[in-house]
């Protein structure tokens, strides 16, 4: 191979190593595990080694060109020792939209091992809280460190739902992707949300879904040549969905984490996701009223139940489905209907046969079916997904070995976080604004028996999972319920 070919191959390998380093850095941001830390270190070492090789090859090419009396094809970098985590750039200038842009990469002065990683973690936390791009935050905080800005720019290339100008405008697509990969197999709410209108909060406390009740209104006109086109007027309302959140914490000892297979933290992470998914489903499919600042109303809140048809079998199924459709049409509700029922009822429909032994509903009902354990076996719910809206931010997971926890759940037995500020025990599964047991100590029925435990002092870990979420129906009549089904 010629030196030029070797340089091209080295450059290609270095670019691939840089991409691997960017991916590893992003993984470390989301999960500060030992495996991710090792991956970043390994990728950094490989990228540095390739950069050193590239520098040597370019220097050799320059020397060869000088001996031949010609100008070098590429300027050789100044000779220097390549240090670990040398991600420096010669200059960082504003790019499109004011974002920093890498101009040229050069070796950097050494720093204490771990310094840039710590700076990156700090910048990432601030960028997440302020909903700003990571590279811009790094530029503002560590302008004297072009190496860090180069790393931040590499780590900031992932599309998200909060950064304006980079995928925030595609929030519905990103939201559907999150549902399908993270919660869809676990939750009836996720399946319903994937069929309806999905939004993101994007840092806002509420989101507004426009409502237009057109029904069978005919207000336009056929217009002849040179005729005046009439001006139409209608009524547009709005459904405001407030931001709520579900969350939970699990504590476990370091001994359990280190001796378990698979790792206990990952097992608890999956368990906590399922628990929160169950909470969402139970609230969604209930008839509870909205609690200001705490939770949205259930889909069945204010819905008048329709008595189920008697006699069982195929005829009863058809009559119940027709009753739901008739009620929706009477309320000027149209669009695709999703049917929600118990898992057993869903199985019965799939196995129902006629006198000839043929399946009666081989393709299900005239609309998708969602089976869930949170609907009684004698209830059928119909939802017009055109009028079902939900909004949420990504599921946030954090692990801490230095937190202090007040060991209490949210049931109706003290000590409990299901309490108001005065200390009176409230509704299970709900913590009102500024409610729960005060972390700094408190009095009242909910505080009796409360115990605080330090994760640091007991050599333990705390896994916290929080998900901002809300849902709602944007048109009255878009949810119908049949009770006492006989099939």
What is the average pLDDT across 328-343?
90
- Specify the 3-state DSSP secondary structure of 216: coil
Are the beta carbons of 11 and 48 closer than 8 angstroms?
no
125 lies in a domain?
yes
Q: For position 115, what pLDDT does the model report? A: 67
Are the beta carbons of 184 and 377 closer than 8 angstroms?
no
Task: Look at residue 97 and tell me whether its pLDDT is greater than 80.
Answer: no
Query: Which residues, including other chains, have CB under 8 Å from residue 413's CB and lie 6 or more apart?
Result: 425
Say whether both 259 and 346 belong to one domain: yes
Final residue belonging to a domain, choices 130, 155, 180: 155
Final residue belonging to a domain, choices 115, 132, 155: 155
Q: For position 436, what pLDDT does the model report? A: 85
Say whether both 186 and 248 belong to one domain: yes
**Integer angstrom CA distances of residue 396 from 59, 85, 459, 465:** 48, 29, 23, 6
445 lies in a domain?
no
Final residue belonging to a domain, choices 89, 124, 155: 155
245 lies in a domain?
yes
Say whether both 74 and 188 belong to one domain: no
Are the beta carbons of 187 and 275 closer than 8 angstroms?
no
Say whether both 107 and 73 belong to one domain: yes
Are the beta carbons of 374 and 281 closer than 8 angstroms?
yes
Which of the four pLDDT bands, split at 50, 70 and 90, describes residue 449? confident
**Which DSSP symbol is given to 181?**
I
Q: Residue 416's closest CA among 402, 405, 406?
A: 406
Question: What span, in angstroms and rounded, lies between the C-alpha atoms of 437 and 448?
Answer: 9
Most confident of 201-210, 247-256, 298-307, 343-352: 298-307
Q: For position 19, what pLDDT does the model report? A: 82
Are the beta carbons of 479 and 299 closer than 8 angstroms?
yes
424 lies in a domain?
no
Total domains in the chain come to 2
Say whether both 317 and 251 belong to one domain: yes
CA 290 to chain centre: 23
**Which DSSP symbol is given to 182?**
I
Question: What span, in angstroms and rounded, lies between the C-alpha atoms of 151 and 29?
Answer: 12
Say whether both 376 and 487 belong to one domain: yes
Q: Where is pLDDT greater, at 404 or 42? A: 404
Which of the four pLDDT bands, split at 50, 70 and 90, describes residue 393? confident
Question: What span, in angstroms and rounded, lies between the C-alpha atoms of 68 and 185?
Answer: 67
Say whether both 303 and 352 belong to one domain: yes
Condensed to tens digits (0 to 9), the pLDDT of residues 42-55 reads 887 887 788 778 77
218 lies in a domain?
no
Report cis status (omega within 30 of 0) of the bond before 262. Answer: yes
Question: What span, in angstroms and rounded, lies between the C-alpha atoms of 156 and 137?
Answer: 11
Q: For position 172, what pLDDT does the model report? A: 43
What is the average pLDDT across 188-212?
78
Most confident of 9-23, 143-157, 297-311, 420-434: 297-311
Are the beta carbons of 480 and 328 closer than 8 angstroms?
yes
Which of the four pLDDT bands, split at 50, 70 and 90, describes residue 107? very low
What is the average pLDDT across 194-215?
75
Q: Where is pLDDT greater, at 414 or 127? A: 414
Most confident of 86-95, 227-236, 303-312: 303-312
Burial degree of 467 (CB within 10 A; 0-12, 13-18, 19+): buried
Say whether both 132 and 70 belong to one domain: yes
What is the average pLDDT across 20-28?
77
Question: What span, in angstroms and rounded, lies between the C-alpha atoms of 429 and 355?
Answer: 48
Q: To the nearest 5 percent, what fractions of the chain are helix, strand and coil?
A: 40, 20, 40
Give me the DSSP letters along 217-263. --------TTPPPPPP---EEEEEEE-EEEEEEEEEEHHHHHH-SS-
- Specify the 3-state DSSP secondary structure of 109: coil
Q: For position 420, what pLDDT does the model report? A: 74
Task: Look at residue 297 and tell me whether its pLDDT is greater than 90.
Answer: yes
**Integer angstrom CA distances of residue 375 from 37, 74, 286, 378, 386:** 45, 70, 8, 8, 21
Residue 448: other Cβ atoms inside 10 A: 12
Task: Look at residue 287 and tell me whether its pLDDT is greater than 90.
Answer: yes
Say whether both 139 and 288 belong to one domain: no
Task: Look at residue 471 and tell me whether its pLDDT is greater than 80.
Answer: yes
Are the beta carbons of 107 and 83 closer than 8 angstroms?
yes
Q: What is the CA radius of gyration of the chain?
A: 30
CA 44 to chain centre: 29
Length of the chain as a residue count? 487
Task: Look at residue 82 and tell me whether its pLDDT is greater than 50.
Answer: no
CATH number of the CATH domain containing 196: 3.90.1690
- Which residues sit opposite 249 in a β-bridge? 464
Q: Where is pLDDT greater, at 285 or 166? A: 285
Q: For position 301, what pLDDT does the model report? A: 94
198 φ/ψ angles, rounded to the nearest 5 degrees: -115, 135
- Domain span including residue 466: 169-212+237-407+451-487
Q: For position 69, what pLDDT does the model report? A: 62
Say whether both 301 and 207 belong to one domain: yes
Say whether both 149 and 178 belong to one domain: no
Say whether both 261 and 140 belong to one domain: no
275 lies in a domain?
yes
Q: For position 342, what pLDDT does the model report? A: 93
CA 33 to chain centre: 20
Q: Where is pLDDT greater, at 223 or 448? A: 223
∠ CA 26-28-30, rounded to 5° = 75
Q: For position 91, what pLDDT does the model report? A: 39
417 lies in a domain?
no
33 φ/ψ angles, rounded to the nearest 5 degrees: -90, 165
372 lies in a domain?
yes
Are the beta carbons of 187 and 280 closer than 8 angstroms?
yes
Return the sign of the alpha-carbon dihedral for residues 20, 22, 25, 27. negative
């Amino acid at each position: 191979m010629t030196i030029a070919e070797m340089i091209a191959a080295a450059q290609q390998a270095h670019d691939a190593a840089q991409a691997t380093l960017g991916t590893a850095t992003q993984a470390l941001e989301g999960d500060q595990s030992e495996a991710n830390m090792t991956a970043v270190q390994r990728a950094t070492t490989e990228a540095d080694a390739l950069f050193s090789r590239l520098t040597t090859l370019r220097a050799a090419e320059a020397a060869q060109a000088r001996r031949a009396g010609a100008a070098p094809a590429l300027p050789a970098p100044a000779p220097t020792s390549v240090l670990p985590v040398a991600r420096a750039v010669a200059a960082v200038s504003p790019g499109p939209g004011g974002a920093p842009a890498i101009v040229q990469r050069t070796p950097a002065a050494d720093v204490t091992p771990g310094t840039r990683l710590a700076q990156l973690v700090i910048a990432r936390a601030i960028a997440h809280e302020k909903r700003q791009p990571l590279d811009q935050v790094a530029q503002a905080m560590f302008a004297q460190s072009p190496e860090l800005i180069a790393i931040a720019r590499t780590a900031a290339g992932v599309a998200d739902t909060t950064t304006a100008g980079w995928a925030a405008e595609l929030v519905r697509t990103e939201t559907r992707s999150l549902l399908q990969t993270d919660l869809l197999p676990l939750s009836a709410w996720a399946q319903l949300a994937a069929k309806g209108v999905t939004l993101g909060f994007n840092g806002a406390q509420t989101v507004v879904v426009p409502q237009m009740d057109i029904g069978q209104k005919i207000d336009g006109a056929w217009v002849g040549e040179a005729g005046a086109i009439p001006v139409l007027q209608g009524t547009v309302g709005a459904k405001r969905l407030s931001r709520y959140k579900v969350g939970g914490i699990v504590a476990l000892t370091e001994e359990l984490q280190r001796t378990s297979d698979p790792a206990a933290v990952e097992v608890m992470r999956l368990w906590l996701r399922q628990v929160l998914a169950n909470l969402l489903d139970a609230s969604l499919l209930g008839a509870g009223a909205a609690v200001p600042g705490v939770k949205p109303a259930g889909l069945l809140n204010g819905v008048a139940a329709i008595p189920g048809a008697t006699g069982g079998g195929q005829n009863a199924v058809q009559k119940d489905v027709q009753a739901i459709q008739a009620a929706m049409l009477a309320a000027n509700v149209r669009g695709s209907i999703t049917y929600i029922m118990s898992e057993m009822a869903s199985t019965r429909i799939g196995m129902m046969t006629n006198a000839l032994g043929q399946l009666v509903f081989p393709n299900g009902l005239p609309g998708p079916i969602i089976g869930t354990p949170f609907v009684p076996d004698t209830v059928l719910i119909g939802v017009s997904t055109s009028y079902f809206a939900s909004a949420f931010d990504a599921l946030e997971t954090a692990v801490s070995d230095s937190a202090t926890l007040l060991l209490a759940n949210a049931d109706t037995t003290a000590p409990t976080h299901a309490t108001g500020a005065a200390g009176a025990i409230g509704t299970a599964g709900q913590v009102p604004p500024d409610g729960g047991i005060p972390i700094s100590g408190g009095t009242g029925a909910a505080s009796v028996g409360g115990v605080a435990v330090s994760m640091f002092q007991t050599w333990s870990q705390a896994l916290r999972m929080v998900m901002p979420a809300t849902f709602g129906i944007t048109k009255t009549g878009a949810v119908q319920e049949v009770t006492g089904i006989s099939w």
